[in-house]
């Protein structure tokens, strides 16, 4: 009978231990978040947090991925003519003479000029110069010098050449610059 008592007590403790383990397992699995196929909203860095962003409903988040807007600041191109640094208009030059023309200008826009900004012939003769040049790199608000090397025509006459700045989209902007020479 004593053996039955120990066996019964052992069985009781075993069942109690199994029951506690079962309860503990159920509690632990209940704390785990349910996997319902939804993903957490992506982290938005502080710079993007300045922009208004709507938080999608869980159903909408499951259907589409959230995209952050990209803000590209617009700038305006500008060129202001300041001065002829060399060869003032009406200068007498010899036929075939090399003419190193320089204009002082200001980047009066809000765009920084890079290799995509161009200076193109818009009227008159090119006088031996290429009809398109890179506009020298210049940050917004900075004065710079534009330089083109011309060759005076062989025949007598008054020659004028007009040049215009163009932005990367091919749109003209700013003041045009000119050279005017007289070959006697």
| Residue ranges of domains in the chain, CATH in brackets | 2-63 (no CATH), 80-183 (2.60.40.10)
- As a whole number, the mean pLDDT across the chain is 81
Mean pLDDT of 89-104: 97
Q: Is the pLDDT of residue 123 over 70?
A: yes
11: its two tokens: 């069985």
Report the range of poorest mean pLDDT among 35-49, 106-120, 142-156, 159-173: 35-49
Query: CA-based angle 82:86:88, to the nearest 5?
Result: 80
The string over 103-130, giving b where at least 16 C-beta atoms fall within 10 Å of a residue's C-beta and e elsewhere, is bebbbbbebebeeebbbbbeeeeebebe
pLDDT in tens, 40-73: 555 455 544 444 555 556 555 555 555 565 555 6
DSSP-derived letter for residue 138 is B
The set of residues, in sequence order, having a beta carbon less than 8 Å from that of 74 and lying 6+ positions away, is: none
Gap between the Cα atoms of 160 and 181, Å rounded: 7
Higher local confidence (pLDDT), 122 or 35: 122
pLDDT at residue 48 in the model: 45
Give the pLDDT band (50/70/90) at residue 177: very high
Higher local confidence (pLDDT), 27 or 178: 178
pTM: predicted TM-score of the whole model, two decimal places: 0.60
Gap between the Cα atoms of 31 and 66, Å rounded: 28
pLDDT at residue 47 in the model: 47
Mean pLDDT of 164-173: 96
Q: Are strands 172-183 and 157-166 parallel, antiparallel or unpaired?
A: antiparallel
The set of residues, in sequence order, having a beta carbon less than 8 Å from that of 69 and lying 6+ positions away, is: 51
Report the range of poorest mean pLDDT among 14-23, 25-34, 83-92: 25-34
Higher local confidence (pLDDT), 67 or 114: 114
pLDDT at residue 54 in the model: 57
pLDDT at residue 18 in the model: 75
Mean pLDDT of 105-116: 96
């Amino acid at each position: 009978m004593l053996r039955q008592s120990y066996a019964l007590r052992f069985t009781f403790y075993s069942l109690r231990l199994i029951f506690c383990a079962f309860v503990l397992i159920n509690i632990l699995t209940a704390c785990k978040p349910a996997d319902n196929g939804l993903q957490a909203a992506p982290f938005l860095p502080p710079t993007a947090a300045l922009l208004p962003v709507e938080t999608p409903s869980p159903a909408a988040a499951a259907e589409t991925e959230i995209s952050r807007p990209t803000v590209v600041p617009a700038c305006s191109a500008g060129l202001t003519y300041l001065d002829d640094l060399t060869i003032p208009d009406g200068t007498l030059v010899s036929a075939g003479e090399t003419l190193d023309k320089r204009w002082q200008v200001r980047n009066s826009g809000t765009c920084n000029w890079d290799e995509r900004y161009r200076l193109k012939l818009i009227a008159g003769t090119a006088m031996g110069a290429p009809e398109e040049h890179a506009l020298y790199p210049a940050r917004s608000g900075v004065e710079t010098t534009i330089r083109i090397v011309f060759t005076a025509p062989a025949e007598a006459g008054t020659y004028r050449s007009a040049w215009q700045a163009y932005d990367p989209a091919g749109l003209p902007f700013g003041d045009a610059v000119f050279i005017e020479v007289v070959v006697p």
